[in-house]
Amino acid sequence: MINQETVAAFNHRMVLNPNSIKKMTPAQADAVKVWGSNAENLMKNRDLAQFVHEYKFELCDQLADIKGHSADDNACRIAIGNQIAGMDGFIALLKKAVYYKNTVVSAQTGVADPIV
């Protein structure tokens, strides 16, 4: 069963339209900056980066251990590939949050291009 914290997190997730960044209210812009700063802090966290890489290496080791070509082996390869893609998607989300933060800051300060 889904608990209330999960529902609240889903309802309060950051949903952005990059075309409307210049039209955001100050509160919305501040929320984007906080979201992006939190993502940037996670990306700069060496421990998180180490564990992400260790997890990906572990998945690659599991992939290398599959020697057969049966339907079960191929399904396992696909599942591991999906797990690796999920980690890449998580990192892409962090990068997107930092990009949006930089875009908001650039729009507020009048700088032409955001720093990525």
Query: What's the domain count of the chain?
Result: 1
Q: Residue 91: inside a domain, yes or no?
A: yes
Is 5 domain-assigned?
no
In a domain, 114, yes or no: no
Residue 17 lies in a domain: no
Q: Is residue 58 part of a domain?
A: yes
Domain range enclosing 105: 27-109
Report how far Cα 51 is from the mean position of its chain's Cα atoms: 15
* In-domain check, residue 95: yes
Q: Which of 114, 100, 91, 102 is nearest to 44 (CA)?
A: 91
Would you say 2 and 77 are in contact if contact means Cβ atoms under 8 Å apart? Answer: no
- Tens-place pLDDT, residues 10-40: 887 777 877 878 888 898 899 999 999 999 9
Over residues 78-105, the pLDDT tens digits come to 999 999 999 999 999 999 999 999 999 9
